[in-house]
Amino acid sequence: MKMILGKIFNIIKTISILIVICLYALFCFFITAFLSINILTVGFGLRDGFDWQIIIYIIYLAMIILGSLSIPWFLFFIKTKISKIFIVLIYLILFFSYFYTHSLLPSVKEQYDLGRCADWGGRWDSIEDKCIMPNSKKTRK
């Protein structure tokens, strides 16, 4: 009986490890895809010239992508527990601060506004700072 329970426990442990690995791989895939789309959206702002806010934002997004892909390697090769906690904590701070950075950098926010206006089928009027929709007098802020 003890031997059967031990084998069942090992099977459940193996399946749970595989599920965690698959979920992590999906997380990395979706984070990479989502942030790469954001890099492309904001990166078109560099065609007008050098803008340090956009460069910093693109580097920041690249750090989040590389961090999500390299955390398992750091956790495997680093032996001290405090270092592992520190690395994961830094990554979580970078990841969750991503949601606020585009509102802190005006050039990046402008690129998102231009992209959203183009998605709606309008054009951005920089004098009124609004999106002008074609064939209508409506504007979107």
pLDDT of 13 > 90? The answer is yes
Instruction: Provide the pLDDT for residue 95.
Output: 87
Instruction: Provide the pLDDT for residue 98.
Output: 87
Q: What's the CA gap between 63 and 135, in Å, rounded?
A: 42
Residue 108: name the closest of 43, 11, 14 by CA: 43
The percent of residues above 90 in pLDDT, for the chain, comes to: 14
Give the mean model confidence (pLDDT) for residues 24-51: 82
- Band of residue 138 on the pLDDT scale cut at 50, 70, 90: low
pLDDT of 29 > 80? The answer is yes
If 0-12 CB within 10 Å is exposed, 13-18 middle and 19+ buried, where does residue 131 land? buried
Instruction: Provide the pLDDT for residue 12.
Output: 94
- Band of residue 120 on the pLDDT scale cut at 50, 70, 90: low
Instruction: Provide the pLDDT for residue 133.
Output: 66
Radius of gyration of the chain (CA): 22
Q: pLDDT, tens digit, for every residue of 49-76?
A: 777 888 888 888 898 888 888 888 888 8
Instruction: Provide the pLDDT for residue 68.
Output: 87
pLDDT of 97 > 70? The answer is yes
Q: What's the CA gap between 120 and 127, in Å, rounded?
A: 19
Residue found by looking up tokens 């002008």 in the block: 132
